[in-house]
Amino acid sequence: MSDLVSLPATTRTRGPLPRALLVGLFIVGLQLVIALMTLVWTPYDPSALAGQRLEAPSLIHLAGTDRLGRDLFTLIMIGARIALTVGCGAILIGGLIGVTIGLAAAFAARTLDDVFAAGLDILIAFPTLLIAMLIVASSDGASLWTATLAIGVANSAIVARLTRILGKRVLALDYITAARISGSSWLSIVFRHVLPNIWPTLMVNLALQFGLAVIAEASLSYLGLGTPPPNASWGRLLQEAQATVQTAPLGAIAPGLALVALVIGINLLADGLRDLSDPARRSA
Amino acid sequence: MSALVLDIDRLSITSGARRLVEEISLRVAPGERVGLIGESGSGKSLTALASVGLLAEGLVPSGSIRLGGHQVVGAADSALAKLRGEVAAMVFQEPLTALDPLMPIGRQLAEVVRRHARRNRHSMDRRSVERAVLDLVRQVSLPHPDRLVRSFPHEISGGQRQRVAIAMALACEPQLLIADEPTTALDVTTQAEILTLLRDLVTARNMALLFISHDLPVVAGIAERVIVMRQGAIVEEGTVSQVFAKPAHAYTKSLMAAARSFDDALEIPR
């Protein structure tokens, strides 16, 4: 009978990397290089007045100047650093707290799980702004870190809820029961079966959260709860350009484009990684 | 009689105020092949899950279940974990969800092999694990073992997946194999192959088998003794020939009649 059944003709040959992954890697990589570069070099001093107010783009000022006369391109480069820091920090904090709570809820007994679920719903209803104000109030004042922490904590509720649902779904499958019957411990079930199986969906969600975190930081900065000047984040640049958007639209367009590019890049990267982690897609 | 592999005594399972299984008693001796028949919802699968202490939350067992001589009802999960792989292993109905989709088949088998070795306190190097895995794959008559261990579950057929699931259960070298409708999701030819395989493996290893099905002919082909369940209670029990030759209970009769009329319908009219 053995030859009636077919198997993949050859052993797995790794197909080409998903295109999404390559494009995402390129965009995010470029922004990362720029962000790292600002640590040692920027075209102009970000807090110095480098030219006239609201200059048009030229070879000297690639993106023109802002309403104070600072070099906009320099500010956007520094913005990349802030955006990446906030985004990575927030999804790291949100992911760590969220996945832990979510898995605990998924494994917990039903009554405890109800408590978790209700608690998470309350936390989700709680605006990021309030959480940020609480954190700022209990620390030395607003900084990049308080903003990141606040956004991360706010994100964690959403991550936890998603993890809980995904985890519960995987836990109900036969291979988990089979693993339990063969005597594997909860911990090994979490790390071998549950996390790898929920990771692809979780990762795409975290990538979305990354974009939202960058935007949330902008809103917090606007209210004085985010990155303080002179470290202009993209959000702050957008808000500062608000007043002059009709006369000098580039002030809003340039940081906006940088933000959009980063968010798209991160999402492509996550999509590509998901495809890579799915054996069915990879061999197709 | 502590020699019984599975000794269920007046087991009831309740969910809130509802009784799902009512005072059933069931025994499986070492090496014995027992069929558990009944329509869906009759409590067959619940009984099976209860006997390894894996009832879903909210389902409360009462009575006594002794698995390999150890009480399961009310036992702590840590005590059960030890008991499970050692005494009983299980094969499920749905081959699609029986394997982790993200793990190559060889790795899934290796994990069980390693765990079983650890439990018996002998360490295995990578080579001998690999050998044991290939050996298991061969025992369930899967083709091209060395290629198959590198495949992912979606790359092989349902029948092949079910064979892998059986191999995983065998890796634990249990005294009792619980098969919960293992052939229901398969086509008829594959069904017959899996049944033959199960019977041969169980007989060769002197393993006890608790075979759960709603399908009379299937059970008749593999079990020595059958137990008929309906609405949470056992309505009839006996050897295969007894029960099938002379069904005593009206429900068994109606099950047989249904199976017979189905067979008749398939015959080509002349």
Lookup: tokens for B231: 């609405």
Decide: A187 and A200 in contact? Cβ < 8 Å: no
Decide: A75 and A43 in contact? Cβ < 8 Å: no
| Local structure of residue B95 (DSSP, 8 states) | T
Q: A11 CA to chain B: closest CA distance, Å?
A: 7
Whether this model's pTM surpasses 0.90: no
In chain B, whose CA is at the least distance from the CA of A276? B102
Q: For chain B, which domains are there? A: 6-95+176-265 (3.40.50.300)
In chain B, whose CA is at the least distance from the CA of A10? B147
Q: How many Cβ pairs within 8 Å bridge chains A and B? A: 104
List the single best residue of A10, A182, A190, A275 to mutate versus B (max B Cβ within 10 A).
A182
Distance CA A196, CA A193 (A): 6
**The length of chain A, given as a count of residues:** 284
Whether the pLDDT of residue A175 is over 70: the answer is: yes
Whether the pLDDT of residue A3 is over 60: the answer is: no
Distance CA B62, CA A258 (A): 64
pLDDT of A115 reads: 87
Nearest alpha-carbon partner for A178 in B132, B180, B142: B180
Return left, alpha or beta for B184; rule: phi > 0 is left, psi -120 to 50 is alpha, else beta: alpha
Q: A85 CA to chain B: closest CA distance, Å?
A: 32
Phi and psi at residue A6, in whole multiples of 5°? -110, 150
Give the ipTM of the model, two decimals please.
0.76
Distance CA B191, CA A120 (A): 46
Query: What sign results for the dihedral spanned by CA atoms A96, A102, A104, A107?
Result: negative
Q: A18 CA to chain B: closest CA distance, Å?
A: 18
DSSP helix, strand, coil percent of chain A (3-state; round to 5) = 70, 0, 30
Whether the pLDDT of residue A251 is over 50: the answer is: yes
Identify all chain B residues contacting A184, using CB atoms and an 8 Å cutoff: 81, 111, 115
Percent of chain B's residues with pLDDT above 90 = 28
Q: A156 CA to chain B: closest CA distance, Å?
A: 26
pLDDT of B269 reads: 56
- Roughly what angle, to the nearest 10 degrees, separates helices A72-107 and A19-37? 120
Decide: B134 and A210 in contact? Cβ < 8 Å: no
Mean of pLDDT values over B183-202: 87
Q: Domain ranges in chain A? A: 73-278
Residue type, B164: V
**Do B84 and A183 make contact, defined as CB atoms within 8 angstroms?**
yes
Lookup: tokens for B108: 């899934």
Architecture of domain A73-278: Orthogonal Bundle (1.10)
